[in-house]
Amino acid sequence: MSTAVLTVDLGAIVSNWRDLDARTDCETAACVKADGYGLGVVEVARALAGAGARHFFVAVAEEGVLLRKALGPAPRISVFSGHMAGDTELIRGAGLVPVLNSVDQMLRHVESLPGHSFGIQLDTGMNRLGMEGAEWAAVRDIALPQNPTLVMSHLACADAPDHEMNARQLARFHEMTDGLDVPRSLSATGGILLGPEYHFDLTRPGIGLYGGIPFVDARPVVRLDVPVIQVRDVSPGETVGYANTWTARSPSRIATISAGYADGVIRAMGAKATLHAGSSSVPVVGRISMDLIGVDVTGLATEPDSLQLIGRHQSIDTVAGFADTLGYEILTSLGARYRREYTR
């Protein structure tokens, strides 16, 4: 077997969802945009629906169409990008709920799909998506009589509990929504952990389901095992890989493994990255190539058949640290070339 194996523990995803759900008194949805954070939206969403999740969020309408096919008619599928030009047939056909972000989207929606469910996104300071105060004031009298399913906003700094932005956005959300007879949602994973005043009627965790920080109590979800193609002896003074960036100082055993930046092993991890053989850590040497990586296995007693990049000894956040990025980017970069295995 020459391709790397990405093992996704669906049981851990379900357990993380239940754990986050147990931290609130409100409904817990699931954010499965970007192919379920790179792990396979069909398998992830079916597992969560089986565990009782009834509300899913995706980024764009096309993702919602795929998800509807996987889940059937019952769950609610909301779309963060709202009702964009050209989306009307997808929204109607798949019964999606666009979260409307602007007056333009509101007009497009009520004109093209009168009576069709919608939510509303408000901007409380992140300046990314959603209506600002003046826009909301201008359309709320049109929107509210049509019974929006949800009014939501998104926190910019929820992974930093002490950041003053959290309280500021919370206060703004109250100003914009208090007194409305519409279910409210403010929090993703980070917001759930900020405490009950951030929970409202519905939370929308993503990264925590998949085992990433800021949900430090999460069960790990992903394992990535990469087969060794070849092992060679390298003498002092010899180099490994493109541009000769690594030179052996002593007699070394170098394993070449079958994955590279085309598989999401980000090239910028460079020489900071390590893998594991059992519980022993082994360092990457030389540059990460498109499909291959050199690893110094001199210290191992036996020659390994495969090395582990992500697993019990290295979380997605540890691996993210090698490249100064986030667990989110590691997950969504994991390539389509892997053989994916799902466990429960």
Ligand X SMILES: *Cc1c(COP(=O)(O)O)cnc(C)c1O
- List the one residue from 109, 204, 276, 287 that touches ligand X (CB under 6 A): 204
Question: Does position 48 bind ligand X by CB under 6 A?
Answer: no
Name which of 112 and 332 has its Cβ closer to ligand X: 332
Instruction: Decide: is 55 part of the binding site for ligand X (CB under 6 A).
Output: no
Stretch that binds ligand X, among 12-20, 187-195, 218-226, 252-260 (CB under 6 A): 187-195
Helix (H/G/I), strand (E/B), else coil: 336: coil
Instruction: Answer whether 270's CB lies under 8 Å from 283's CB.
Output: no
Task: Note whether 285 binds ligand X by CB under 6 A.
Answer: no
User: Phi-psi category of 125—alpha, beta or left, where left has phi over 0 and alpha has psi -120 to 50?
Assistant: left
Q: Residues with catalytic annotation?
A: 33, 242
Alpha-carbon span 194 to 197, nearest angstrom: 8
Q: Does residue 108 bind ligand X (CB under 6 A)? A: no
18-37 residues near ligand X, rule: CB under 6 A: 31, 33
**What single-letter amino acid sits at 6?**
L
Residue 327 makes contact with ligand X by CB under 6 A: no
Q: Which stretch binds ligand X (CB under 6 A): 102-110, 183-191, 249-257, 302-310?
A: 183-191
Nearest to 47 by CA among 13, 20, 18: 13
Does position 154 bind ligand X by CB under 6 A? yes
Residue 184: CB minimum distance to ligand X, A? 13
Q: Does 199 bind ligand X (CB under 6 A)?
A: no
Q: Which of 190/304 has CB closer to ligand X?
A: 190
Q: Does 98 bind ligand X (CB under 6 A)?
A: no
- Tell me which stretch binds ligand X (CB under 6 A): 61-69, 199-207, 230-238, 288-296: 199-207
Nearest to 152 by CA among 116, 117, 176, 179: 176
Nearer to ligand X, 33 or 276 (CB): 33
Q: Is residue 19 a contact partner of residue 30, using CB atoms and an 8 Å limit?
A: no
Q: Does residue 82 touch ligand X according to CB under 6 A? A: no
Residue in 189, 258, 308, 315 binding ligand X, rule: CB under 6 A:
189
DSSP string covering 35-69: HHHTT-HHHHHHHHHHTT--EEEESSHHHHHHHHH
Interface with ligand X by CB under 6 A: which range of 65-73, 206-214, 223-231, 316-324?
A: 206-214
Which H/E stretch holds residue 306?
strand 306-310
Angstrom distance (rounded) from CA 20 to CA 27: 10
Which candidate, 10, 18, 8, 9, places its Cα nearest to that of 215? 18
Q: How far is the CB of 22 from ligand X (least distance, A)?
A: 16
| 128 among annotated binding-site residues | yes
* DSSP β-bridge partners for residue 275: 282
The verdict on 68 binding ligand X (CB under 6 A) reads: no
Judge whether 311 and 276 are in contact, CB under 8 Å. Answer: yes
| Contacting positions for ligand X (CB under 6 A) | 31, 33, 80, 154, 188-190, 204-208
State the binding site for substrate: 128, 290
